[in-house]
Structure formats: structure tokens, C-alpha cells
Amino acid sequence: MKPISSWGRLSHEDHQVIPLNDRHQAFNQIRANETQGGIAHGMGRSYGDVGLNPKGALWLTTGLHHLIHFDEHTGRLICESGVLLRDIQRLLIPRGWILPVTPGSQMVTVGGAIANDVHGKNHHLLGSFGDHVQNIKLIRTDGTIIECGPLHNTEWFSATLGGLGLTGVILEAEIQMRPTAGPWLDTESIPYSNLSEFFELADSSEKDWEHTVSWIDCISGKGQGIFMRANPNKELKHAPKMKAEKKMPFVPPISLVNSLTLRPFNFLYRNHQKYKAGTSTVHYEPFFYPLDKLLEWNRMYGPKGFFQYQSVVPRNVGQDATQAMLKEIEKSGEGSFLAVLKTFGNRESLGMLSFPEPGVTLALDFPNHASRTHKLMNRLDAIVKEAKGRIYPAKDARMPRELFEAGYPKLNEFLKYRDAGISSSLSRRLLGS
């Protein structure tokens, strides 16, 4: 047994960790635990309990890190599920191909990206990760091997995409890469003063800008922030020598994000970004994955860890719902330094339980202050529910079942494809098993 925690560091319970290092032997390792139940676990970057299974088995997939085949002419990549998005990017961008969609960290496995159907800053143009997956090879704990994709076994594909790892263990995937000229982006950074300005910027940028995202100061109550947008640069092709990542060296005894630091943090960040506002050409890594430069940054929240709360609400109520959430946060005295506001494109996800849907998504980190933080998130839940929105399960650690069922209308259809030998803390909390 080994103590394992998620990225939010909210618990450190023992797990039976079973490394999967050979895809040809993984079948026997997974089937041997059929009666006990287990869940696949990659880099542990999910914030809540979707990848945890205390006292039970965790099938560790990071040993399945081989590229199986790449076609330089078509951009089709076949790889094992434990390959990191970072390694794909660094290997294939110099060869003219880039992953079409990546989340805010590239320290994520391919299997994790599929199981949570992750999204990026270009959702309005290219959808989520699953829109570019052509085939998935899945091992069920009863010994069945299933291959599925957008054109074959489509029900299994739809259930597995964003299926929280509950339909089987993803062993391999085929991904359609996208042509790219190089690693550089033309970017523009624009301060905004309120939510109306944010939505004007978001709406006017979707047509001409491939990537859009904004940081919002969630404690000022004004809805002010920094809007960032980017397009691939087609002229410069040589990548700089990358600097080594730094690492948060220890877990401080208390969260470094607290009432004394948060307001100065936000003030300094907002004004620093205002000073830097304008256009520039930057490498893709600091733009797409700014937090990856500080490894184990999650330690800064101290021994009690933190919650991430990410919601999406329909666009027609997006401004009112976002304003209501900001007011609740301001009233609570709780606060978030990492507060990201973005619009999703007008496209439905392929996965039955995929999180992205047309609307506005707000992501917030809150230090774990026990009941005080739960009360705030309960109030945010009420706003999301009234707006007919949903919470992102990959980030969640405490969503009530009622809100989960209301937010994911295809849940009953998904349940037909669950693997009875797979269970996680999240599935027991939200599905009862």
C-alpha cells in the first residue's frame, strides 16, 4: 500500500499501486483485480477524487509511455495511454505537427486527456481533445478488449470519451495531429474593467483568434481582468533552448494563498499584466502552460490542500451567473488567485459525460478551509444549478449527486457501458458504486 493524493492534496490515503509497464501484459494485471475493483491513474493531475481509490487498486499507466506509430504525411499518431502530452509536443512540433487541443498543463497522459475529455484555449475553434481521437483501445476487467472511435463502435467511444475512466482501462489511442509552422504564437494581452467588456472581447475574438482566455480578479467585485488571445506565428521556426523547470521545494505549514496574501497577489498580478499589455511573439509553452514551470506548485496551498471549482453555464445567462458567483466569493471572504474565465464554442461534445458545452466557464482555486469553503461552494452550486449549468468532474471533490445528475442528462445512457470491475472515490460518491 502507498499513500496517494490527487493534485488538490485533499487526502493522502493508501492505495494498492499496480504499475502497468507492458501493454501486452496489462490484460492479466487488470483482470487479476476484477473482484477488488480499481481505477486507472496517470500523472495524478486531476484535482479531486476521479483518479483515487483508497484501499483498492490503482493501475498506474505512466509506464505505458511508448509511441507505436506516427505517419509524417497524415499526422496520425498511435501511442500508449501513458504518453505525456508534453513529450508528444516536444517531439512532433519540430516535425511540423502539434496536438490540436491541450489543457492548461501538458503534464497529462493521453489516457487522462481522453478519460476527462480535456479542453483548451481554442475550444471555440477545435472543440475538446476527443474531437481529434480516431481510435481507442480499451481493456475491460472481464477480459474484453474493445476498439472504438467516431466511426466504429460509436456508443462505446461516446461513453469512454470523458467517461472518467469507468468504462475500462484505456490502453492505446490514435490521434489526428494538426500541421504547425513552429512553436511560436502571436499574442495580444488586453486589460478589461468589467464583465461586459470581457464578453465583448470574447465574442469579437472568436472569429479571428485561435486561442482565447482571461484571468479575472475574483476578489475585487468589479469583474476586471486581463484578456489574452493568440494565433500561431507562421514565420519563426526555431525553438529557443528551454529553461529547466523549478520546483516548489516544500509544503509550507499553512497555505501561502490566504487573506493576507491574496489581495496583494491579485493587485500586483493585475498591474504587472497591465504593464505588459499589448502584442508580442511568445513560445507556446509559457502561453499554454504557465504553471508547468513550477513543478508541484500545488504544495503552496499547505497541508490541507485546495479545491478547484470549475463550472460552465449557458451563454444567455453567462454574464449574470458569473457576476452572481463573483459577488458570493467577495461576500465570503474566501478568494482565488487562479481564476480563469473563458467562453466555450457553440458545439456539443462527443462524450456522454464530457464537460464542455456552449457557454461560459469559470475556474477557481480555493484553499481548503473546511466548512467555510464548502459553504461558499454550496452557494456557487446553487447559482450553477439555477443557470442549468454543470461542474467539471475532473476538478471536483465534493459535488452533490443531485447537481451531477442535473448537469449530465446522458448519465443513464452512460451507465450501460460502465465496467463493473472499475470503481473510484468519485464513482462511489456520485454513482453509489
- Please tell me the distance from the alpha carbon of residue 290 to that of residue 308, in angstroms, as a whole number: 17
- Please tell me the distance from the alpha carbon of residue 193 to that of residue 208, in angstroms, as a whole number: 22
Q: Is 162 helix (H, G, I), strand (E, B) or coil?
A: coil
Residues 229/235/237/239 CA torsion (nearest 10 deg): -40
Residue 79 has pLDDT above 80, yes or no: yes
Residue 107 has pLDDT above 90, yes or no: yes
Place of cell 476586471: 224
Kindly report the backbone phi and psi dihedral angles of residue 264, in degrees, each rounded to the nearest multiple of 5, phi listed first: -60, -35
- Please tell me the distance from the alpha carbon of residue 75 to that of residue 142, in angstroms, as a whole number: 34
Report in angstroms the alpha-carbon separations of 170 from 102, 202, 283, 417: 18, 35, 31, 14
- Please tell me the distance from the alpha carbon of residue 136 to that of residue 217, in angstroms, as a whole number: 40
The one-letter amino acid code at 294 reads L
Cβ count near 405 (within 10 Å)? 13
Residue 428 has pLDDT above 80, yes or no: yes
Residue 334: name the closest of 355, 313, 309, 351 by CA. 309
pTM of the model: 0.94
pLDDT at 238: 67
Q: Which residues pair with 325 in a beta bridge?
A: none
pLDDT at 21: 96
| Mean pLDDT value across residues 407-417 | 98
State what percent of residues in the chain have pLDDT above 70.
95
Q: Which residues pair with 78 in a beta bridge?
A: 69, 174
pLDDT at 242: 67
Contact in structure between 226 and 215 (CB atoms under 8 Å) = yes
Please, what's the largest Cα pairwise distance for the chain? 59
pLDDT at 405: 97
Look up residue 126 and give its three cell numbers.
477545435
| Mean pLDDT value across residues 234-252 | 70
pLDDT at 266: 74
Cβ count near 234 (within 10 Å)? 11
Q: Is 244 helix (H, G, I), strand (E, B) or coil?
A: coil
Contact in structure between 56 and 141 (CB atoms under 8 Å) = no
Element (H, E) at 148: strand 145-148
Kindly report the backbone phi and psi dihedral angles of residue 22, in degrees, each rounded to the nearest multiple of 5, phi listed first: -135, 115
Please, which pLDDT band fits residue 260 given cuts at 50, 70 and 90? Answer: low
